[in-house]
Amino acid sequence: MTDQAYNFAYLDEATKRMIRRALLKGLAIPGYQVPFASREMPMPYGWGTGGVQVTAACLTPDDTLKVIDQGADDTTNAVSIRKFFERTAQVQTSETTAKATVIQTRHRIPEVALTEGQILVYQVPIPEPLRFLEPRESETRRMHALEEYGLMHVKLYEDIARHGAIATSYAYPVKVEGRYVMDPSPIPKFDNPKLGSNAAIQLFGAGREQRIYALPPYTDVVSLDFEDHPFDPSKADHACDLCGSEVSYLDELITDDKGSRMFVCSDTSYCTARQDEGHTGRLSPEGVAA
């Protein structure tokens, strides 16, 4: 069978309508997880099927798509998903955040502020923020209905009692518009402040768990915390060794068998752009030469 045998953006129209209806409900009820009849996709569950279905339901032929995994455009799964849409939707692709109209991401929010007209699609493994406290779907659904989030606060507080700090560093739960507690997907908590008041539309797809949820632009999103232990979106206390940025989220790399380390931006598009503008870091070629 050839690619032409598949519909524009792979999914059949009935499936897209079903996903589109779920997306609109998600926007109308920010942070609420809308059940949807996720389809089997030609990539495995857990590898972005939710994000891929949301992207497929949103793409028009006029879009420019960017796909990132861990902030990078060239990680294998990002490459694979980008290729899938190049084949099935013939859309333009770009690695430049500002040029993209639809960005599918796994685990990061780009460093550059997003703008109106952009859509950020998150791949979500476990959409239920309460799942690790209560494994039963029927029970967590009831807890959301009754706004019964005490268990979550107890868990965070136990962290503080035991470790002196909240021991959640990614997939850090947030409260949306003072109503629903939401899982922001496994982004580092460093990225949490970018969830709220974002000019772009943020859509979340969990394929295996059959849930879609959304944040409209400029939505009020608060990371859960306590007065005496305010939320702290920390990152490694270093600058990027390639572009010198002191404000970006960093990957740590082990560079030799003696345990030498270097730190580089996880957002490759951001880092490359800064290097092109002439910014340098500790290990830039010029820096080494100097």
The interface with another protein within residues 147-166 (CB under 8 A) comprises: 163-165
Q: Which of 2, 3, 4, 146 binds another protein (CB under 8 A)?
A: 146
Answer yes or no whether residue 115 interacts with another protein by CB under 8 A.
no
Nearest to 134 by CA among 111, 152, 122: 152
Q: How far apart are CA 45 and CA 47, in angstroms?
A: 5
Q: Which of 2, 112, 118, 169 binds another protein (CB under 8 A)?
A: 169
The interface with another protein within residues 19-48 (CB under 8 A) comprises: 20-25, 27-30, 32, 34-42, 44-47
Answer yes or no whether residue 243 interacts with another protein by CB under 8 A.
no
Q: Which of 50, 55, 59, 181 binds another protein (CB under 8 A)?
A: 59
State the minimum distance, in angstroms, from the CB of residue 98 to another protein.
19
Q: Which of 134, 148, 225, 251 binds another protein (CB under 8 A)?
A: 251
Look at residue 174 and give its three-state secondary structure. Answer: strand
Q: What is the DSSP letter of 29?
A: S
User: First CA to last CA across the chain, in angstroms?
Assistant: 57
Count of residues engaged in binding another protein, rule: CB under 8 A: 115
The interface with another protein within residues 123-142 (CB under 8 A) comprises: 125, 135-138, 141-142
Q: Which of 133, 134, 148, 177 binds another protein (CB under 8 A)?
A: 177
Answer yes or no whether residue 246 interacts with another protein by CB under 8 A.
no
The interface with another protein within residues 179-198 (CB under 8 A) comprises: 179-180, 186-190, 197
Answer yes or no whether residue 231 interacts with another protein by CB under 8 A.
no
Q: What is the dihedral of CA 77, 83, 88, 92, to 10 degrees?
A: 120
Question: Which residue type is seen at 59?
Answer: L
Q: Is the torsion defined by CA of 132, 137, 142, 144 positive or negative?
A: positive
Question: Which residue type is seen at 128?
Answer: E
Q: Which of 64, 217, 222, 229 binds another protein (CB under 8 A)?
A: 217
Nearest to 180 by CA among 131, 138, 205, 145: 145
Q: Which residues contact 280 (CB under 8 A, 6 or more apart)?
A: 242, 243, 244, 286, 287
Answer yes or no whether residue 279 interacts with another protein by CB under 8 A.
no
